Structure 1
Amino acid sequence: MSISVKGIILAGGSGSRLWPLSRQQLPKQFLKLSGAASMLSATIGRLSPLVAKDDVWVVTGESHATGEAFSELEGLNQIMEPCGRNTAPAIAVAAALMQDLSGDDPIMVVLPADHIVADKDAFQACLNKAVEVAQGDRLVTFGIVPTQPETGFGYIQAEASGQGDIQNVLRFVEKPDLENAQRMLDDGNYYWNSGMFVWKASVILEEVEKYIPEMTALLNGMRARWNGGELWQEVVRDSFDKMPDVSIDYGIMEKSQRVSLVPADIGWSDVGSWDAVHEIAEHDVNGNDISGNVLAIDCHNTLLRSERSLIAAIGIEDIIAVETPDAILLCRAGESQRVREIVDSLKLGKERYHLEHVTVRRPWGSYTVLEGRADGYQIKRLEVLPGARLSMQAHQHRSEHWVVVAGTATVTCGELVKTVAKNESAYISIGETHRLENRGKIPLHLIEVQVGDYLGEDDIERFEDIYGRT
């Protein structure tokens, strides 16, 4: 009898420790940090051939699915969360859906979307072992074989003896200080907690009912609704915020008596900081990781990354410098875990450096802020892809003036539909219903001048949208 295996990819995180490249609206799981593929795409790829792409489901924030990450998520099975509620509710909802949509009891391979695994063959070998063990009603986790006394990870203690490569889990350990990390490394029966799991949908739901019964009560109500004919995504949108905010580790794994561990030596990194990015990167002869528009002379052990501006560095050592068009990060190597402190400080201010980039991707293309919200106006450059169109919308606080600089625009203003060619313009008054389309075969480029007393992106009332953002 064939085994049904589903991939569940958790892609709802914010990735704040990789600021300024990672932003709240486009976190690290959607970025290309290592190679040509995004971290999400690479995670899905390493499940093949055991799990086909059609059997992979991505759990992500609704704002990601309809915002900057749209192109990375397009065409994938998605479970959209209307708000963040940690990993236990996400996994429980996914398990229930996998049962109800498939009509059987599939094995779930639960992976974070933002990890790097260098040795795919070793990962596949561990995955096959984990699936075999999970058939015996066990909760299986991948324990990463530690290489150093790391204080940034949680640990898992396993029994000294196990059945072959499979070990029973004794306990989960919080992130230790350096002394305890060294002790656990010397012990040899401790592993880094990878956050990767394999189990039957029924088994994890049994443990949820046992240890988080209030979640089961809510989930049963949701299942009754979607099995009764309501659209399951609408049920999730309506009910998910009532779920308790709890991680799968704290809510289930630390309490369950059914946990097994597969030791995994797979070239793993959670890429949780710029130091981690530097560690896994290819280095030049001086230990530098250099990418983008960088000129480095007599530098050693540096990470220098430029998105646009030239970084010119002379004689520096043990420095991390990351440039994006609107922000620059500078810190000493070994200090990049503290980037989260910068993001926390930015959240207290009025600027949007933690939220989005100067260039913001949208399902229809992108816009780039050329001049910020100063003195009641804002200037943007818009790129609309061939065949794409923005939503039918209106603004209550701003007017817009569009000047076409390349391509041809189709502009709807109220009942009027007109063609606007290169070097021509269209004016949208406050409150007027309008839409912008590119019916051509080449990208459409415009300069947009907004004028008004409020210029926030939330001043958009959508009436119809082909990307589901109404």
Structure 2
Amino acid sequence: MTNKVIPVIMAGGKGTRLWPLSRTASPKQFMQFYSEETLFQSALLRVADSDIYEPPIVVTNEEFRFVAAEQAREVNVGLATIILEPLARNTAPAIAAAAAIASNLFDTNAILQVLASDHEITVDQHYLKANSIGRAAAENGKLVTFGITPTEPATGYGYIETGAEFVSGALAVKRFIEKPSLPDAIEMLSTGGFFWNSGMFMFSIAALLDEMEEYAPEVWLATKTAASRSVRDLDFIRLEREAFGSSPDISFDYAVLEKTSNTAVVPAGFKWSDLGSWDSVWKAGGRDANGNVTSANTTLSNTRKSLVLSRGTHVVVQGLENVAVIASEDAVYVGHLDDSQKVGQVVSLLASAPATSKLTETHPTTYRPWGGYTSILSSDEFRVKRVFVNPGKGLALQKHLYRSEHWVVVRGIAEVTIGGHVQVVGENSPIHIPVGTTHRLVNPGKETLELIEIQTGSYFGEDDVIRTSEHAVGLETGKRCLRSLSTEGEGNV
């Protein structure tokens, strides 16, 4: 039993409205915008106070499991567990599954706080007060949602109309309103008593389960079964696929909140943005004297009210106004800020063409639990990659049937196993891995190991890897065992 709030961080989304930075395999919650932390890390840090919160439960999918774990480790936030959805089924099944797992880890009287992992939120006295009111209402059995005070007649958000005030300080919900037309949004703001629906919730597990059983029984049965058949894998809980897949694909708002009369809304006066489009990123950012929001690697001349971000290439913008210029490793988007809600249409256009579909899916850089790699150059005859391995991490012992590999260490120290022989390799030292030779790469140092890898052969698919269960021994010339290193479940580079 616990008297602390249990945070549930929803981190499984694959949104592409912030393309080209956000992609199917690299969504915005794991990206940095205005600070050193990613949005996911910022969400974790908001619930890091151990006097108030239990360690958070993270709900995500198979593709993001290691990046979520690694980003939590980077900000030193311990997790209760990471729940892996076997397939996407919207927020109602995700929340129900988290509640089922939480009821086993804690008890049904515990309070859950469901938070998005990709929102920009200012933590101040308004934020703390809203959470305090929300908890009081949740302890009184209410399903609580948080309403954001509108700053403009936005048409991209759902709205909540409020009623009388409860003893807790929360307000009754009269009705939920879908994304309105501009005239309706203007009228709601002039009338008052309307709030944006933030998608953040708080409730007891017991109250949630009662409402799920009444209003969304198919969702609850499917997710409860999936949770009961789940399998623990290291720090992850894998929900059973068949049962979870039988759940209706439905949002929590549609499934429960819009049907029950047991809801409450807490007016939240803190600064909030869902960062759902490039214009919202511009509005949430720190603007200079000309109204521009920029990142490193950018130069602006005679440019006003614009968003210019780059992830490497230096971008120069001259003589423009009200534009978004976003440069990733392999693509550049340029458009009017007013049209940024339509980026999804551009992504659909790219995805429909074989020549550009990959631009919507992955970045040149792929992250793994041990580090990752960036694709630099490729042809039918060779591949060139930059490989980086985090301190104390290593790749699984493996071999390739169709390619050889040539490594040159450019930073750090590598411990390399080739055919059972272990050697320590420093900077500017070449390594050759013949076809079919068992090998392994480990970083025993305290800084990131970087090397350039050149692959040559007849086939370069990521499925050309045969891993062995053998545990190599011999780090630091045989004095340290590789079993302590985190290499479970990793693919080849």
1:362–1:283 CA distance, 2 compared to 1 (3 A): same
Matched, 1:370 2:376: yes
Matched, 1:24 2:27: no
| Deviations, residues 219-261 of structure 1 (Å, cap 9, x unaligned) | 4434554699xx9824546743343321111111111121111
In terms of mean alpha carbon deviation, does 433-442 or 25-34 score higher?
433-442
**1:376 Cα offset (Å):** 3.5
TM-score of the superposed pair, with normalisation by structure 2: 0.86
Question: Which letter does structure 2 place at the counterpart of 1:17?
Answer: R
Contact 2:2–2:107 (CA under 8 A) maintained in structure 1:
no
What is the SS of the residue equivalent to 2:155? coil
* Structure 1, gaps ≥5 residues long: none
In terms of mean alpha carbon deviation, does 453-462 or 307-316 score higher?
453-462
**1:97 Cα offset (Å):** 1.3
1:261–1:235 CA distance, 2 compared to 1 (3 A): closer
Report matched runs for 1:382-393 at 5 Å: 382-393=387-398
1:332–1:426 CA distance, 2 compared to 1 (3 A): same
Q: Distance in 2 between matches of 1:390 and 1:238?
A: 32
In terms of mean alpha carbon deviation, does 249-258 or 239-248 score higher?
239-248
**1:414 Cα offset (Å):** 4.2
Match 1:346 to one of 347, 350, 366: 350
In terms of mean alpha carbon deviation, does 269-278 or 27-36 score higher?
27-36
1:70–1:399 CA distance, 2 compared to 1 (3 A): farther
Contact 1:7–1:51 (CA under 8 A) maintained in structure 2:
no
* Structure 2, gaps ≥5 residues long: 470-484
Q: Distance in 1 between matches of 2:36 and 2:429?
A: 38
Q: Distance in 2 between matches of 1:274 and 1:62?
A: 27
What is the SS of the residue equivalent to 1:353? helix
What is the SS of the residue equivalent to 2:147? strand
Q: Distance in 1 between matches of 2:461 and 2:17?
A: 26
Q: Distance in 1 between matches of 2:227 and 2:300?
A: 58
In terms of mean alpha carbon deviation, does 183-192 or 4-13 score higher?
183-192
Aligned match of 2:4: 4
Q: Distance in 1 between matches of 2:44 and 2:227?
A: 27
Aligned match of 1:139: 143
**1:52 Cα offset (Å):** 4.7
Q: Distance in 1 between matches of 2:299 and 2:362?
A: 27
Match 1:400 to one of 395, 405, 413: 405
1:379–1:256 CA distance, 2 compared to 1 (3 A): same
Aligned match of 1:46: 46
Report matched runs for 1:17-416 at 5 Å: 17-47=17-47, 49=49, 52=52, 54-66=54-66, 68-74=67-73, 75-77=78-80, 78-159=82-163, 161-163=164-166, 165-222=169-226, 224-225=228-229, 233-236=237-240, 239-348=243-352, 349=354, 351=356, 352-371=358-377, 373-416=378-421
Q: Distance in 2 between matches of 1:2 and 1:80?
A: 24
Question: Which letter does structure 2 place at the counterpart of 1:368?
Answer: T
What is the SS of the residue equivalent to 2:454? strand
Q: Distance in 2 between matches of 1:55 and 1:381?
A: 35
Question: Which letter does structure 2 place at the counterpart of 1:128?
Answer: S
**1:350 Cα offset (Å):** 5.1
1:152–1:51 CA distance, 2 compared to 1 (3 A): farther
Aligned match of 1:439: 444
Q: Distance in 1 between matches of 2:12 and 2:230?
A: 23
Contact 1:70–1:362 (CA under 8 A) maintained in structure 2:
no
**1:53 Cα offset (Å):** 5.7
% identical equivalent positions: 38
1:3–1:461 CA distance, 2 compared to 1 (3 A): same
**1:431 Cα offset (Å):** 4.8
Matched, 1:469 2:485: no
In terms of mean alpha carbon deviation, does 380-389 or 129-138 score higher?
380-389
| Deviations, residues 359-379 of structure 1 (Å, cap 9, x unaligned) | 3332222322211x3223210
1:334–1:412 CA distance, 2 compared to 1 (3 A): same
Question: Which letter does structure 1 place at the counterpart of 2:404?
Answer: S
**1:57 Cα offset (Å):** 1.3
1:70–1:5 CA distance, 2 compared to 1 (3 A): closer
**1:87 Cα offset (Å):** 0.8
Aligned length: 466
| Deviations, residues 117-171 of structure 1 (Å, cap 9, x unaligned) | 2253211101111111111211111111112111101111222x33364222122
1:22–1:187 CA distance, 2 compared to 1 (3 A): same
| Deviations, residues 366-399 of structure 1 (Å, cap 9, x unaligned) | 322211x322321011122332101223445543
1:76–1:47 CA distance, 2 compared to 1 (3 A): closer
1:314–1:9 CA distance, 2 compared to 1 (3 A): same
1:244–1:335 CA distance, 2 compared to 1 (3 A): same
**1:279 Cα offset (Å):** 0.6
Contact 1:395–1:431 (CA under 8 A) maintained in structure 2:
yes
Matched, 1:457 2:462: yes
**1:15 Cα offset (Å):** 3.0
Question: Which letter does structure 1 place at the counterpart of 2:20?
Answer: P
Contact 2:417–2:439 (CA under 8 A) maintained in structure 1:
yes
Q: Distance in 2 between matches of 1:254 and 1:460?
A: 50
**1:313 Cα offset (Å):** 2.0
Q: Distance in 1 between matches of 2:439 and 2:246?
A: 36
Contact 1:47–1:124 (CA under 8 A) maintained in structure 2:
no
Q: Distance in 2 between matches of 1:442 and 1:34?
A: 25
Contact 2:83–2:236 (CA under 8 A) maintained in structure 1:
no
1:232–1:449 CA distance, 2 compared to 1 (3 A): closer
| Deviations, residues 14-54 of structure 1 (Å, cap 9, x unaligned) | 23111222222221112221223221222233335476564
**1:215 Cα offset (Å):** 2.5
1:461–1:86 CA distance, 2 compared to 1 (3 A): farther
